A and B are shown apart, each in its own frame.
Chain A
């Protein structure tokens, strides 16, 4: 027997999802003012067996239902624990940190902008020399950062904070904003002129995972 963890939420903002992964009921474990949501399963294989994508989508749907009610700190899928006792012990140890993070970001959400080259071969085209190869990688990285800065300017003061993650030919930009500013954020970015050869995909609102100090949890 194992349990699948969904997220941690403040007790005051709890919105119970109708069902979890594999249609199983979602249960709660409370500790002080935080609640952890989980589903009981027969074995770990029940969560990770095929089709995994379907299970992950069900997991995501359950999280979204809770997230509409307020801030959540999601667990990655699939995070498993042995039983409720193990979860309760974990919550006892970490509830204060979860509580302070959830209160700090109670009315906040995260938006994500992925800036990438629309032509996937642009970064891997045959280069004639090693110097040319490295210079082209450097140039791509700099171009992405220029666009990221323009996006930040375009969003203006709607976003309270930013984080970014750089990968090959892609830059992920995360904006922290108030839950009620999502429409304004989208409207502002809708008018952003994306340069030729690049694509910008904006998604959200999401839980503020990039702004949490998870290393402490």
Chain B
């Protein structure tokens, strides 16, 4: 168990900082900047869908075939997002966009 004093760690309320969290839309990096924006939004939707799928599965409102179908779609979508991110030189953490005062796009 690691116990750290706040004086030696980043504030929990602070959004992620550094170049990784921002969209760079300069002419040289427009492709990567756009990929970060689009893939970040897709990842947000994917995570929301996944949570909803788990809730419905727990609630018993899905048949076995539906669970399999949803799970497979979410699994493949996750793999594809990661593959595309890698293609543009991005890590999964880069998709968590810094929205400034609003915080980060995805939960940390």
Contact = CB atoms under 8 A, between A and B. Distances in A.
Interface of A: 48, 50, 52-53, 55-57, 59-60, 63-64, 67, 74-79, 110, 112, 124, 127, 129-135, 137-138, 141, 165-168, 170, 172, 186, 189-190, 192, 194, 199-207, 209
Contacts of B74: 130, 133-134
Given A78-B101, A134-B50, 9 more contacts: A53-B18, A55-B17, A64-B6, A77-B17, A78-B100, A112-B12, A131-B71, A134-B71, A168-B47
B1 A133 contact: no
B13 A209 contact: yes
A203 B12 CA distance: 9
Contact of A52 (B1, B10, B22, B50): B22
Interface of B: 1-7, 9-15, 17-19, 22, 47, 50, 53-54, 57-58, 64, 67-75, 78, 82, 100-103, 106-108
Contacts of B54: 134, 137-138, 141
A111 to B, nearest CB: 9
Interface centre among B6, B19, B72, B103 (most CB of A within 10 A): B6
A190 B3 contact: yes
Nearest to B21: A52
Contacts of B4: 201-203
A127 B4 CA distance: 36
Given A75-B101, A76-B101, A133 B15 contact: no
By DSSP majority rule, is chain A's interface helix, strand, loop, or mixed? mixed
A127 B100 CA distance: 36
Given A131-B67, A189-B1, A138 B58 contact: yes
Nearest to A76: B101
A132 B72 CA distance: 9
By DSSP majority rule, is chain B's interface helix, strand, loop, or mixed? helix
A202 B102 contact: no
A138 B1 CA distance: 24
Contact of B1 (A79, A192, A207): A192
Closest 6 pairs (CB-CB, A-B): A130-B71, A130-B72, A134-B71, A167-B107, A56-B17, A133-B75
